[in-house]
Amino acid sequence: MSATAIARLTSAILLGALSCGCHTTQHPAAPTPSSATTSTTPSVAPAPRIAPLPVRPVEKSQPTSPDKCPAVDPVAPAPPANVLVTCDLARTTRYTLGPETTRLELTRVDAPKPLTSDFYQVILTMDPASATAWAAFTAAHPHAHIAFVRDDLVLEAPMIENQVTSGQIALTTQTAQAAAQLAQLAGRPA
């Protein structure tokens, strides 16, 4: 095969790869008889699936102390259709929560980032179906007080201010340690 024919064939393969959205580096070339060595591409383990994140309406909230928070059992969480009485991660607020309204499928939980010297933020990214459902829910429930729950503990209980169409939820907390705990619980594998 001439050098011109090889160049045309290579151009056609590259053009085909670009038009289909593929990358040539993802498809190793077949070994040629003149190859003296073989290379292997290391396999990448798939990211673990994140457990769905329950969302419940807040019926009541009040300041409390850790000794007045009910015990929780992460192995046997409250049934989704039942009312849940629990506390937040810091065990400073006691909540009465209604039955689950939805469960959000998360694809990523970012590491905490400082917003100011007093606040840290953890970004949760939803899959497309959950992002669409969350956008519809937040549009239909302006000013609703909701709680994001993991292991029967409230991760955060914000008020819905606007429709959320970004496919992301930003949770905030006041210390680096609390933000790390929040990220760890939110991103718990299924």
| Cα dihedral: 183, 186, 187, 190 (round 10) | 160
Per-residue confidence (pLDDT) for residue 15, from 0 to 100: 33
Question: What's the mean pLDDT in 163-180?
Answer: 92
CB 147 within 8 A of CB 93: no
Instruction: Specify the 3-state DSSP secondary structure of 173.
Output: strand
Question: How does residue 113 score in pLDDT terms, banded at 50, 70 and 90?
Answer: very high
Angstrom distance (rounded) from CA 174 to CA 137: 27
Per-residue confidence (pLDDT) for residue 36, from 0 to 100: 45
Domain boundaries, the chain: 53-187
Per-residue confidence (pLDDT) for residue 2, from 0 to 100: 46
CB 148 within 8 A of CB 154: yes
Exposed/middle/buried for 159, CB within 10 Å: 0-12, 13-18, 19+?
Answer: exposed
Number of other residues whose CB lies within 10 A of the CB of residue 120: 22
Enumerate the β-bridge partners of residue 106: 126
Summary mean pLDDT of the chain: 81
Angstrom distance (rounded) from CA 121 to CA 124: 10
Higher-confidence residue of 110 and 15: namely: 110
CB 167 within 8 A of CB 126: yes
Question: What's the mean pLDDT in 179-184?
Answer: 92
Instruction: Specify the 3-state DSSP secondary structure of 19.
Output: helix
Per-residue confidence (pLDDT) for residue 45, from 0 to 100: 58
Instruction: Specify the 3-state DSSP secondary structure of 74.
Output: coil
3: amino acid identity, one letter: A
Judged against a pLDDT cut of 80, whether residue 131 lies above it is answered with: yes
CB 93 within 8 A of CB 61: yes
Per-residue confidence (pLDDT) for residue 73, from 0 to 100: 87
Question: How does residue 43 score in pLDDT terms, banded at 50, 70 and 90?
Answer: low
Per-residue confidence (pLDDT) for residue 74, from 0 to 100: 81
Fold of 53-187: Gyrase A; domain 2 (3.30.1360)
Question: How does residue 118 score in pLDDT terms, banded at 50, 70 and 90?
Answer: confident
Q: What is the pLDDT of residues 147-166, one digit of tens each?
A: 999 999 999 999 999 999 99
Q: Rounded to the nearest 5°, which phi and psi values hold at 131?
A: -60, -40
Instruction: Please name the residues in contact with 46: beta carbons below 8 A apart, sequence gap of 6 or more.
Output: none
Per-residue confidence (pLDDT) for residue 46, from 0 to 100: 61
Q: What is the pLDDT of residues 3-39, one digit of tens each?
A: 444 334 333 333 333 333 333 333 344 444 444 444 4
Tokens of 134: 């969350």
